[in-house]
Amino acid sequence: MSAVTERLDQIKAEGRSALIGYLPVGYPTVERSIRAMEVMVEAGVDIVEVGLPYSDPVMDGATIQFAAESALRHGVHIRDVFPAVEAVVAAGTPAVVMTYFNPMLQYGVDRFAADLKAAGGSGVITPDLTPDAGADWVAAANAHSLDQIYLVALSSTQERLHLTATASSGFVYAASLMGVTGERTSVGDAAERLVADTRAAGAARVCVGLGVTTGEHAAKVAAYADGVIVGSALVRCLTDNKSEEAGLAALREKVAELAAGVRGNV
């Protein structure tokens, strides 16, 4: 059982949903991004997604693309993800990496898995990789006891839901809407059906992302999902505030709002 599985099960036993927060390493610098991840933990995030910036982020919307492009321009490296994971784990929270497959392939899939495990990471979310198309990653993840976290969407067939539920460990990432990441004014009701269908297909834990922006959104999703995943709303705290102090203050405030939501205190 991974640290992610243990944390999700512990939180479920508390009668609530988990808050999972995403930030990309390297924005605005590697050091400042790591400090921001630590602040998320201090403010109430239960699991951290450490984002690995990539030049062709097909799933990401404007906010995350902006941060990733800035990080790449300033020379962020694939290896920078591992100190970030170490810092998150040292802060007391499980860490998973969110990355497209090409950076892992460039780094060396088995090498990436080994270095992530050595850093204390629990697994990897691969938005552009399906269980039946990544034999090298499956082998490396199994060899190093890392969670393989795959995505399902509103368009997923029953066959695809079953395949993904069977192959995933840690949790299944349910995309709440069709499209890219980004803040929304509401979270659609279709996500609740997708969670139910994914559980019926065999998934033990299903967490929902894309579009969660406010504490009210978090509370709505928390009513039916094991975890609420937030990215763009957190990244925006840093992109909208150029000083580190202001950015971290805004991040603390937003995480506190979302944490209250998953705890039913909004």
User: What is the per-residue pLDDT for 188?
Assistant: 57
40 pLDDT more than 80: yes
Tell me the CATH architecture of domain 3-262. Answer: Alpha-Beta Barrel (3.20)
36, two tokens: 């921001």
What residue spans define the domains of the chain? 3-262
User: What is the per-residue pLDDT for 2?
Assistant: 93
The dihedral over CA atoms of 156, 134, 210, 220, expressed in degrees to the nearest 10, equals: 70
Q: Would residue 60 show up in a list of annotated catalytic residues for this protein? A: yes
102 pLDDT more than 60: yes
Which one from 38, 46, 49, 192 is the annotated catalytic residue?
49
pLDDT digits (tens, 9 = 90+) for 131-157: 998 899 999 999 999 999 999 999 999
User: What is the per-residue pLDDT for 181?
Assistant: 45
pLDDT digits (tens, 9 = 90+) for 171-222: 999 997 644 444 444 555 789 999 999 999 999 999 999 889 999 999 999 9
In angstroms, the CA 147 to CA 74 distance is: 30
95 pLDDT more than 80: yes
Residue 263 DSSP class: T
* Neighbour count for residue 192 (Cβ, 10 Å): 18
User: What is the per-residue pLDDT for 187?
Assistant: 57
User: What is the per-residue pLDDT for 182?
Assistant: 40
Percent of the chain residues topping a pLDDT of 70: 95
Residues 6+ apart with CB under 8 A from 170: 2, 4, 5, 8, 96, 122, 123, 147, 148, 149, 205
Q: Would residue 9 show up in a list of annotated catalytic residues for this protein? A: no
User: What is the per-residue pLDDT for 265?
Assistant: 79
Query: Tokens 């990355």 identify what position?
Result: 99
User: What is the per-residue pLDDT for 184?
Assistant: 43
Which one from 38, 46, 60, 147 is the annotated catalytic residue?
60
User: What is the per-residue pLDDT for 198?
Assistant: 97
